[in-house]
Amino acid sequence: MSVEERMRPATTFKPELASLNMGSMNFGLFPMLERFKSLEHDWEREHLENSRNLIFKNTFADIENILELGNANGTRFEFECYDVSHLNNLRHFLDRGLVRTPLFVQTVFGILGGIGADPEDLMHMHRTAARLFGDRFQWSILGTGRNQLPLATIGAAMGSHVRVGLEDSLWIGPGRLAASSAEQVLRIRAVLEALNIDIATPDEAREMLGLKGAARVDF
């Protein structure tokens, strides 16, 4: 799709927040074919197999165009960073004045083609983000697959926000499929509360991220 097609939901509905991936990368989902021999739909096998030759395209020109379209309607971005290079790309756009702080930096772990899912990878991404952005960013953790809840817990203990949901992981525990994204949200909420970490209200989250407010969207 063209950038304009990819951005049509944001330009049409003018949401408070949208995702923006900060670089092109190989995006390999095909290892799942070895783990799951029986798939329900034919398209699943084809989709996974095709990822052997998939380039997840987000060029500097693409990112600049997306920023311009989002900035025009007040939509801010969750900057998805799959590797250290993506953090440096974000710093480039910050230096050019095309993004404004506080940056919402979503560090993504465990996709083949991006950084791994070891706690050391998490530490390295956080150290790099802190060096590049100082106190001008809000940090969040996205772990894929079975890494979702463990990495979210480690990140939260370090002061990060967390993201969970079926887009990133189908699991609620070892060998147990989650019934819904809501089940994963309730699980990580229980973990956070056990760590005595406060849960932000929607208004508090909007303030932290510098969002425009629900009254200024078109849906």
pLDDT attached to residue 217: 97
176 pLDDT more than 90: yes
Mean pLDDT of the chain: 97
Structure confidence by residue, pLDDT tens digits, 29-54: 999 999 888 899 999 999 999 999 99
Structure confidence by residue, pLDDT tens digits, 118-171: 999 999 999 999 999 999 999 999 999 999 999 999 999 999 999 999 999 999
Strands 55-56 and 161-162: unpaired
pLDDT attached to residue 20: 98
pLDDT attached to residue 37: 86
Following DSSP, what letter does each residue of the chain receive, concatenated?
A: --HHHHTHHHHHH--SEEEEE-S-EE-B-TTHHHH----SSHHHHHHHHHGGG-EE---HHHHHHHHHHHHHTT-EEEEEESSHHHHHHHHHHHHTTSS-SSEEEEEEE--BTB---SHHHHHHHHHHHHHHHTTSEEEEEEE-GGGHHHHHHHHHHHT-EE--STTT--EEETTEE-S-HHHHHHHHHHHHHHTTPPPPPHHHHHHHHT---GGGS--
Report how far apart the first and last C-alpha atoms of the chain are (Å, whole number).
23
All domains in the chain, ordered by first residue: 3-23+58-213 (3.20.20.70), 24-57 (no CATH)
pLDDT attached to residue 36: 87
Contact 54, 26 (CB under 8 A): yes
Longest dimension (CA), the chain: 49
Structure confidence by residue, pLDDT tens digits, 50-70: 999 999 999 999 999 999 999
pLDDT attached to residue 168: 96
